[in-house]
Amino acid sequence: MTQSNRIAGGQIDRTRTLSFTFDGVAYRGHPGDTLASALLANGVRLMGRSFKYHRPRGPISAGSEEPNALVELREGARREPNTRATVAELFDGLSADSQNRWPSLSFDAMSIKDRLSSFLTAGFYDTTFRWPASFWEKVYEPIIRKAAGLGAMSRLEDPDQYDKGFLHCDLLIIGAGPAGLAAALSAGRAGAQVILADEDFRMGGRLNAETHEVGGMTGAGWAVQAVSELSHMPNVRLMPRTTIIAAVDHGIYGAVERVSDHLAVPAPGKPRQILWRIYSRRAILAGGATERPIAFENNDRPGIMLAGALRAYANRWGVAVGRRAAIFTNNDDGLRTAADLKAKGVEVRVIDVRKGEEVVDSSGRLGLKSVTIRSGGRLETFPCEALGVSGGWNPNVNVASHHRGRPVWEPAIEAFVPGQGDIPGLAAAGAAAGRFSTRAALETGAAAAEEALSDLGLAVPARDLPQAEDGAYAIEPKWYVAGGKGRAWIDQQNDVTLKDVKLAHQENYTSVEHLKRYTTLGMATDQGKTANVLGLAVMAGLTGKSIPETGTTIYRPPYTPVAMGTLAGRSRGQEFKPKRLTPSHHWASEQGAVFVEVGMWLRAQWLPRPGETTWRESVDREVLQTRRSVGICDVTTLGKIDIQGRDAAAFLDKVYANNFASLAVGKCRYGLMLREDGIVYDDGTTARLGEHEYVMTTTTANAVLVFRNLEYARQCLYPDMDVQLISTTEAWAQFSVAGPNARRLLQKIVDQDISDAALPYMGCKEITVCGGLRARIFRISFSGELAYEIAVPTRYGDALIREMVAQGAEFDAVVYGTEALGVMRVEKGHVAGNELNGQSSALNMGLGKMVSRKKDSIGMVLSQREGMTDPDGYRLVGVKPVNSAEKLTAGSHFLDKGAAPVMANDLGWLTSVVYSPHLGSSIALGYLKKGDERRGARLRSVNLLAKTEVEVEIVSPHFFDPEGERLRG
């Protein structure tokens, strides 16, 4: 195809030609083109279909406000639906397809909906699709859902990388048009740290689209010069292709930098986009203004555009959308478009509302062929390929309203401007503030910068602004052309018409929020940038209220839509959360261990040996070998908190429900920690290493939370206690060594005597191992076996497990994982995660006596409330199947024999289930109503999800060595 509509001029690089395809057809354009400008240059006006009626559409804008020209950009896993052709930068090899059409863009079978539009007015879902009654879910909704949406996802993993980052500045300037550039020059020259961000790939804003001079040169030329000066200032960061998406609290702005979207693929190691959080002390919104249309019948045909866009395509991109054009305007700016087009040789007809003229209709199914003009009571047809419509300009107030401040109506320009002080530290300048001339933009930009500088205590430089036009902007409000029989579009993408607004009014959906929700006005991908003010002006007319009385809906972030990948950054896939590896991880990997995620940690779940085909075989072996001889398990993940200070003992008495003051130096004690509401929070052993020195262990899951709570108690509740805290979880590699041969194995490792006399049950010691490495040993057990935990500096953890395995060979020592750990703790009746569920009291767990009422510990008082001391409440029990061959399932509920499966008969549930190789049976812990009184009872354990049930016997939770002889051995 030839670039039939390419005319002279523009800021494109005609020395280079870029090839691209649209719907499979090859075209050519130039660097500096957008996809839309290049297609228009090639005579292509039809670029998309509307959402509801599948109406043929072309671009109406030349910027990010575009509702119509949405395409699926790129192919394969990089396919990107709903991409605005008006901002997609052309690159060589670009490929795009139209969307929301079948089978093709020019013939779309779904446009039948356009013919049925009488039935599909606003609110049609609510009133239409319930006839007959049962048809909604079975018939209508599946059809509607199939037709939903615009573009299609590839359903493939996004191959690109995204980054996130943080920037800091004195002054953030949003928009690099004349106001933004003037502000940046002032602030930059004053030495402030400045960030100048613009969503366009070419800085200069509207100057790039205009013909008037600035400082004796073209506006675009002046912009180039200004950018050049700024680029030499080390205190100024220029960020083209960067959209400020959100203004959040305290001067923080979200920004998206499109690093690689103008390339076929990102360079290796480089991100596609970066999400920046910009921390600014002051900010200036210089984001310009957006033109708005006037609604008239069939105002949505390809070739009908905003007048300023028509001008931009001609001036910036050297594109005449048509050789014959009409301009429909209610303001002076529309006349400028007419003048610029005429100067480029386009035949132009002006229809000026202020002269009593209006456009009442158009023709051309897939592209504009003519417009019908009413002038002095006469109708006439003007053949043209392009119509520029200008209903006035709306300042881009969006970002200034992100704190839900409402913009203010400015009658002189018939538009909303940002409210003063809606966002602390943010001021608007230029067209964004409703100051439309270039001169005013430069002046207000500089003034805003000067104000920011003096706020920041920086010297304000003398103002040095170039000459620029200061033309007037006269406007006569005109929102729609009355009297049409057909449809006049307000929100083009969502197909909201004048008639829909009238219907909303008729049904009393007159608040702007109701209007939006009832008609979907402004809910399309452009968020109503061209439609919202028009829609509410129409509603204002219908209700007889003024526009400011009618008000606006809330402007919500983001300013333009943002890729999910950008918001997620690098936190995805395996890198969603960092991995924490245990000291024995490398060794366990070599053994072929199966790992399981425990919070951020990866722990060995079991370590299969050759020949073992099921996990149960491995776990059974690990348990039996441990109970028969000795087993080793990495328990480094348990939280360890070093607690020191003169008041450490008193402090422990506050945070633990049981008594700690009486713990002797060199001993450990099991501690029970409650929340202030009396529910059990955490448990673990705490060892007294010295007079004023303890090390507390927490569960793996709660390590961080317990530390936080201890700091809370220390600083907020007991500020004068002399206590110092620091985490030592990572400093020590800690292993549990359990089983009848535990001492014999460890005695080969430990340099000192660890006989029962030297290190009795619940004793602890600082020792050395392997010939002098400092270490700690704790004689504690959660398996019911003679057991120790031994800790060495983490860098030696790998060596220690290798040493223990080697030294343990003579005992047939085994290394076990978390599954075997779980089996042994259930056999012994120790509560763990499934029982410590944040809903259970010490009484529920059979630990009620541990809560001392003689001291004021956290949670003591509220644990005594009637609901928590209910004698009929849940108690921890052990559960065995009556037939030991039957399998229990955790989460099954207890029912009495013969009781119907309804909640009124529910007696509790099984919390943890394991297979005990020791007992040769599935066993469980559970919470059972009046569990203490039901020992020996036979109940049903029912799993209604699998429709299975097992007859069970309620037993003591201590399945294994209930007298505790082994662990004291």
Partner 1 sequence: MAEHRLKPLTPLGHDRPETVSIGPVTLTEVVDQALASLAARQGREEEVAQKAKAAGIPLPAAARAEPGTPYGAFWLSEQSWMVEAPYASHEDIRAILLPLFGDAASITEQTDAWVRFDVSGSDLSAMFERLCNVDLRAAPDNLATRTVIEHMGCYLVRRARDRLSVFGARSSAAALWHALETAAHSAY
Partner 2 sequence: MIINHPILGPRDAQEFVYLGDAGLIERPDGLAEGAVDAFHDYLYLRDNPAGEHRELWYHEQGDRSWLVVTRNTLTHEITRVELARDVARAKGRSK
Partner 3 sequence: MFGTGRYSGWRVVKEALTGHKGWKPAWRDPEPQKSYDYIVIGGGGHGLATAYYLAKEFRQARIAVLEKGYLGGGNVGRNTTIIRSNYLLDGNEPFYEFSLKLWEGLEQDFNYNAMVSQRGILNLIHTDAQRDAFTRRGNAMILNGADADLLDREQVRAMYPFLNFDNARFPIKGALMQRRGGTVRHDAVAWGYARGADQRGVDLIQNCEVIGIRTENGHVTGVDTTRGFIGAKKVGVAVAGSSSRVMSHVGMRLPIESHVLQAFVSEGLKPLIDGVMTYGAGHFYVSQSDKGGLVFGGDIDGYNTYAQRGNMPVVEDVAEGGMSLMPMIGRARLLRTWGGVMDMSMDGSPIIDRTDIGGLYFNGGWCYGGFKATPASGWCFAHLLATDRPHETATAYRFDRFRKGLMIDEKGQGAQPNLH
Residue ranges in contact with partner 2 by CB under 8 A: 248-252, 279, 403, 424, 647, 650, 676-677, 704, 708, 711-712, 715-721, 855-857, 860-862, 864-865
Helix (H, G, I), strand (E, B) or coil at 446: helix
891 binds, among partner 3, partner 1, partner 2, none (CB under 5 to 8 A by kind): partner 3
Facing residues of 173 across strands? 196, 284
Binding partner selected for residue 263 from partner 1, partner 2, partner 3, none, CB under the kind-specific 5 to 8 Å limit: none
The 375-414 contact track toward partner 3, x by CB under 8 A, reads ---------------------------xxx----------
Instruction: Build a one-symbol-per-residue string for 154-193: x at contacts with partner 1 by CB under 8 A, - elsewhere.
Output: -------x-xxxxxx------------------------x
Q: Which is nearer to partner 3, 252 or 805 (CB)?
A: 252
Q: What is the β-pairing status of strands 921-929 and 874-881? A: antiparallel
Q: How far is the CB of 164 from partner 2 (least distance, A)?
A: 12
Closest separation between CB of residue 183 and partner 2, Å? 23
Total residues binding partner 3 (CB under 8 A): 123
Contact positions with partner 3 (CB under 8 A) in 468-497: none
Contact 12, 18 (CB under 8 A): no
Residue 43: C-alpha distances to residues 6, 122, 303, 338, 692 (Å): 9, 34, 10, 20, 85
Per CB under 8 A, the list member of 150, 176, 246, 274 interacting with partner 1 is 274
Residue 16 contacts partner 1 per CB under 8 A: no
Distance (Å, whole) CA 683 – CA 666 = 20
260 within 8 A of 266, measured Cβ to Cβ: yes
User: How many angstroms separate the CA atoms of 750 and 775, rounded?
Assistant: 9
The sign of the dihedral angle between the CA atoms of 561, 565, 569, 571 is positive
Measure the CA angle with vertex 892, ends 889 and 896; round to 5°: 125
β 921-929/908-916 pair status: antiparallel
Q: Does 884 bind partner 3 (CB under 8 A)?
A: no
Q: Taking CB under 8 A as the rule, does residue 524 contact partner 3? A: yes
Q: Decide whether 653 or 785 has the Cβ nearer to partner 1.
A: 653
CA distance 10 to 220: 10
Q: What is the dihedral of CA 657, 659, 665, 667, to 10 degrees?
A: -70
894 is a contact residue toward partner 1 (CB under 8 A): no
Residue 149 binds which of partner 2, partner 1, partner 3, none (CB < 5-8 A, kind-dependent): partner 3
> How many residues belong to the chain?
969
* Long-range residue pairs from 409-412, CB within 8 A, at least 24 positions apart, any chain: 409/546, 409/547, 409/548, 410/434
Tell me the window of 174-182, 333-341, 539-547, 764-772 that interacts with partner 1 (CB under 8 A).
Answer: 764-772
CB 539 within 8 A of CB 510: yes
Residue 892: contacted member of partner 1, partner 2, partner 3, none (CB under 5 to 8 Å, by partner type): partner 3
Q: Which residue has the tokens 């299609």?
A: 152
From 197-205, 390-398, 544-552, 767-775, span contacting partner 1 (CB under 8 A): 767-775
Among 117, 728, 905, 948, binds partner 1 (CB under 8 A): 728
- Is the CB of 570 or the CB of 865 nearer to partner 1? 570
| Residues between 793 and 852 that touch partner 1 (CB under 8 A) | 793-800, 803
Total residues at interface with partner 1 (CB under 8 A):
64
277 near partner 1, rule: CB under 8 A = yes
Return the number of other C-beta atoms located less than 10 Å from residue 29's C-beta.
Answer: 28
| Residue 800: contacted member of partner 1, partner 2, partner 3, none (CB under 5 to 8 Å, by partner type) | partner 1
Render the burial of 870-893: b for 16+ CB within 10 Å, e for the rest: eeebbbbbbbbbeeeebebbbebb
**Binding residues for partner 1 restricted to 520-579, rule: CB under 8 A:** 570-571, 575, 577-579
Q: 499 contacts which partner out of partner 1, partner 3, partner 2, none, CB within 5 to 8 A by kind?
A: partner 3
Residue among 74 and 580 whose Cβ is closer to partner 2: 580
Q: Does 241 bind partner 1 (CB under 8 A)?
A: no
Phi, then psi, of 911 in degrees rounded to 5: -85, -50
Q: Could you say which of partner 3, partner 2, partner 1, none residue 948 binds, taking C-beta under 5 to 8 angstroms by partner kind? A: none
CA triplet 55, 61, 66: central angle to 5 degrees?
65
DSSP state of 431: G
Instruction: Find tokens 């040169």 and name the residue.
Output: 217
Compare residues 516 and 688 and give the one whose CB is closer to partner 1: 688
Here the tokens at position 539 are: 């509603």
How deeply is 610 buried, as exposed, middle or buried, from its count of CB atoms within 10 A (0-12, 13-18, 19+)?
A: exposed
Site for partner 1 in 669-698 (CB under 8 A): 692-693
Which of the listed partners (partner 1, partner 2, partner 3, none) does 271 bind, with a CB threshold of 5 to 8 Å by partner kind? partner 1
- The least CB distance from residue 167 to partner 1, in Å, is 6
Q: In angstroms, what is the minimal distance from the CB of 124 to partner 3?
A: 8
Q: Which of residues 65-124 bind partner 3 (CB under 8 A)?
A: 77-82, 118-119, 121
Mention every residue, 6+ apart, whose C-beta is less than 8 A from residue 551.
406, 512, 536
CB atoms < 10 A from the CB of 662, how many?
9
Pattern of binders to partner 3 over 334-363, x per CB under 8 A? ------------------------------
Specify whether the CB–CB gap between 300 and 48 falls below 8 A.
Answer: no
Query: What residues numbered 680-719 form the site for partner 3, per CB under 8 A?
Result: 681
Which partner, partner 2, partner 3, partner 1, none, binds residue 479 by CB below 5 to 8 Å per kind? none
Site for partner 1 in 603-662 (CB under 8 A): 636, 642, 644-646
Sign of CA dihedral 472, 480, 308, 521: positive
Nearer CB in complex with partner 2: 576/712: 712
Torsion of Cα atoms, 734 then 736 then 737 then 740, to 10°? 160
Task: Report the residue number, 270 or 354, with the smaller CB distance to partner 1.
Answer: 270
Task: Return the CA Rg of the chain.
Answer: 37
Work out whether 454 is an interface residue with partner 1 (CB under 8 A).
Answer: no
Could you say which DSSP state residue 324 is in? E
Helix (H, G, I), strand (E, B) or coil at 349: strand
770-809 residues near partner 3, rule: CB under 8 A: none
Coil, helix or strand at residue 708: helix
Taking CB under 8 A as the rule, does residue 57 contact partner 3?
A: no
Which of the ranges 130-138, 351-359, 760-768, 776-784 carries the binding residues for partner 3, by CB under 8 A? Answer: 130-138
Q: How many C-beta neighbours within 10 Å does residue 420 have?
A: 10
For partner 1, the closer of residues 191 and 561 by Cβ is 191
Considering only residues 909 to 938 of the shown chain, the ones binding partner 3 according to CB under 8 A are: 909, 911-913
Piece in contact with partner 1 (CB under 8 A), picked from 281-289, 668-676, 726-734, 937-945: 726-734
Q: Residue 148's binding partner, choosing from partner 1, partner 3, partner 2, none, with beta-carbon cut-off 5 to 8 A by kind?
A: partner 3
Indicate the SS3 state at residue 411: helix
Which DSSP symbol is given to 249?
G
509 binds partner 3 (CB under 8 A): yes
Strand-pair category, 324-329 with 893-895 = unpaired
The site partner of 424 among partner 1, partner 3, partner 2, none (C-beta below 5 to 8 Å per kind) is partner 2
What dihedral do alpha carbons 875, 878, 883, 889 form, nearest 10°?
A: 80
Q: Is 900 exposed, middle or buried (0-12, 13-18, 19+ CB in 10 A)?
A: exposed
Q: Does 883 bind partner 3 (CB under 8 A)?
A: no
Q: Which residues bind partner 1 (CB under 8 A)?
A: 161, 163-168, 193, 268-271, 274, 277, 279, 570-571, 575, 577-582, 585-586, 600-601, 636, 642, 644-646, 692-693, 720-722, 724, 726-733, 768-774, 792-800, 803
